[in-house]
Amino acid sequence: MSPEPSRPANSRNLTILLSLIVGVIVGLVVVAFILLTGRLAARMYPAGGAAWRRVLIPTAGALITGFLLSKYFPNARGSGIPQTKFAIFINSGYISLKTVLGKFLCCSISLASGMALGREGPSVHIGAGIASVLSRRFGLKSDSLKHLVPVGCTAALAAAFNTPIAAVLFSLEEILGDMHAPVLGTVVIASATSWMVLHLVLGDQPLFHVPPYQLVHPLEFGIYAILGLIGGLGSVAFVKLLLAIRKWFKTFPKTSEWIQPAAGGLAVGLMGWFMPQVLGVGYDYVDQVLSGDFALKMVIALALLKILATATCYGTGNAGGIFGPSLFIGAMIGGSVGSVAHTLLPQYTATPGAYALVGMGAAFAGIVRTPMTSVIMIFEMTRDYSIIVPLMIANMISFFISQKLQHEPIYEALALQEGVYLPTGESREELSGVRVAQIMKTGPEPFSVALTVEAASKLLVEMGRNAWPVGNPTRLHGVVTAREIEENKSARALRDLVAPDAQFPYVHPDHPLSVALERMGAAGVDAVPVVSRSNLREPYGVVTLADVLNAYGVQREGAD
């Protein structure tokens, strides 16, 4: 029995090779997706085009995608992040090729027609889908499949945002909800590969062109804190509105599902009639705001309209993400706060563009609830270290407010509306807060090595266990299992089954319960000894499966 389960070397090599392949293919597909939507949008909205196009095209686009989503690609609806998490946690990493193609097609039409949604979430879903399809083609089992899907997500995000480190963090922080996930190595490989592909095809162009900023006066920290507060409130308003609209549209008959997106298309089209900047992802305008070229009234109006437009587009069931709109909303909120601050205190504040940049991070942290990703992402976009501290202040305040006023993060809340309970980073954190030391039993003694096999077998049956530690109260020899006893009936005493230096599954008192569960699962036992970190043979107690399940609030039938 190995205490730290590991995969065979050739399986690891295949996973690494596949990570590289996934990085290359996902990078190429996402670049194609970005370029294609961009070119299509340019054709839909030529320079100097008539205003009626801004109403007709989103409506028509939404009608087409609504039909396609309803008839052929039901799993391609929405952002793609919750769907990716479904795939990992519920479908063992399975995403069909049809869903990938549907997502690509529907999002291309939807985004090119000017829906106020983003391209990053769909890219993540497409990337995850490609990783899933490729892994199956290479004959990987479901466990390995689940490991490759986050690799695809990371590769997609690295190419879509041009932020390779933030992409890795996002996969760990949001998709897997575990910053110590064992897939770290492979996601880094895929992220770097995909990013290189992006650079080879498109060159070294950052997503946003940000002029260098500097902190003018320490007073600015206070203003950035206010920005975090407003950004947090704006994020909560956006999330609640989006969820309410989505919930309301889900009350309509299923037969109307195909036409529901058209309502979003018409709504955003009417907004676009008056303010064309609301249409599409709007990164051009974000760029303009970051360079400080905007009017205060305009950015306030755009922040409000974009919240409404994106919530409506998403809520009515269109295909597209909320990453891009989050950044847009944040930039407008930041631009507004910065503009007011700079007007009132010109000597003590940086240009409004700096606030727009920090606002992007604050809104992202508040809406998507990934504060670390948000900080690193903005840092990668600007490549400017001086913005980090204000960014962290605003992000953390926004994140805290969002957490307080909107308990469920947006993707989990959307999943809940679908009736699916996804594990979240936050919930995993809560669980990981319970340690083995808190639930282990110190009373029970290990079986003596002199105990006969028959006696041990009887005791196991009486205790309702399939395994138990062997040794004495000061030194462990190992763990004996019911199966070992069954297979070695000729043995007389336990010392014949368990050598003094035998390998055995164990946990330490400071381990989270999830580790105890994983190790019990890997070894196929329902009890593991708790041992010292300095001496694996020194027993502290025993933790059983029933204890762990009790701690999680799950009562196992027949458990003591």
Partner 1 sequence: MTIERTSLATGAAVLAIIGGLWSVDLFLARTESRETSTEAEHDFQNGARLMREHQPDEAVDEFRKAYALDRGDQRYALQLAAALIAAGKTAEAQTMLNEILESSPNNGDANLLEARLMAREGKTAEATSYYHRAIFGIWTVDALTRRVQVRMELADFLASRGSDKELLAELLPLETDAHDLPTRKQVAHLYLVAHSPARSAAAYRVLIREDPKDRSDYAGLGQAELALGNYRAAESAFRNADAPDRAALAAEMTSLDPTPRNLSAAEKVARAIRILQLARDSLARCAAADPLVTQAGDLLAQKVRTPTNELAEQRLDLAQQLWAARGTKCGPTTSDEESLRLVLSKLSG
Q: Which of residues 328-347 bind partner 1 (CB under 8 A)?
A: none
| Nearest-angstrom CA–CA distance, 505 and 1 | 7
Q: Which is nearer to partner 1, 275 or 416 (CB)?
A: 275
Site for partner 1 contains 276 (CB under 8 A): no
Residue 147 tokens, joined: 């490991």
> Is 9 a residue that touches partner 1 (CB under 8 A)?
no
The string of DSSP letters for 187-251 reads HHHHHHHHHHHHHHHH-S--SS---------THHHHHHHHHHHHHHHHHHHHHHHHHHHHHHHHT
With binding defined as CB under 8 A, does residue 24 bind partner 1?
Answer: yes
Q: Provide the minimum distance between the beta carbon of 209 and partner 1 in the complex, in angstroms, as a whole number.
A: 6
Angle between helix axes 352-367 and 371-382 (nearest 10 degrees) is 150
Residue 404 as a binder of partner 1 (CB under 8 A): the answer is no
Instruction: Determine which helix (DSSP H) or strand (DSSP E) holds 289, and give its type and residue range.
Output: helix 283-290
> For partner 1, which residue of 92, 288, 432, 448 counts as binding (CB under 8 A)?
288
Of these, 165, 196, 201, 493, which contacts partner 1 (CB under 8 A)? 201
Measured from the CB atom, the residue of 49 and 211 that comes closer to partner 1 is 211
Decide if residue 25 touches partner 1 (CB under 8 A).
yes
Nearer to partner 1, 118 or 353 (CB): 353
Q: Cβ neighbours of residue 247 under 8 Å, at least 6 residues apart?
A: 417
Structure tokens at 188: 């880094």
Token pair in block for residue 498: 């368990």
- The single residue among 74, 212, 222, 500 that binds partner 1, judged by CB under 8 A, is 212
Asked if 331 and 289 touch (Cβ cutoff 8 Å), the reply is: yes
CA–CA dist 556, 392 (Å, integer): 43
Is 21 a binding residue for partner 1 by CB under 8 A? The answer is yes
Residue of 3, 11, 32, 301 that binds partner 1 (CB under 8 A): 32
- The answer to the question of residue 29 lying near partner 1 (CB under 8 A) is yes
CB of 47 to partner 1, least distance (A): 7
**Distance in Å, CB of 353 to partner 1, minimum:** 8
**36 binds partner 1 per the rule CB under 8 A:** yes
Under the criterion CB under 8 A, does residue 42 sit at the interface with partner 1?
Answer: yes
Q: Where are the alpha helices (DSSP H) in 368-504?
A: 371-382, 388-405, 410-417, 425-432, 436-439, 453-463, 482-487, 494-497
272: exposed, middle or buried (Cβ count in 10 Å: 0-12, 13-18, 19+) = buried
Selected from 51, 221, 293, 421, the binder of partner 1 by CB under 8 A is 293
Dihedrals phi, psi of 222, to nearest 5 degrees: -65, -40
Among the residue ranges 4-12, 99-107, 197-205, 384-392, the one whose residues contact partner 1 (CB under 8 A)? 197-205
- In the complex, what is the shortest distance from the CB of residue 211 to partner 1, in angstroms, rounded to a whole number? 5
The residues that touch partner 1, with contacts defined as CB under 8 A, are: 21, 24-25, 28-29, 31-32, 35-36, 38-39, 42, 47, 134, 137-138, 201-202, 205, 209, 211-212, 284, 287-288, 291-293, 351
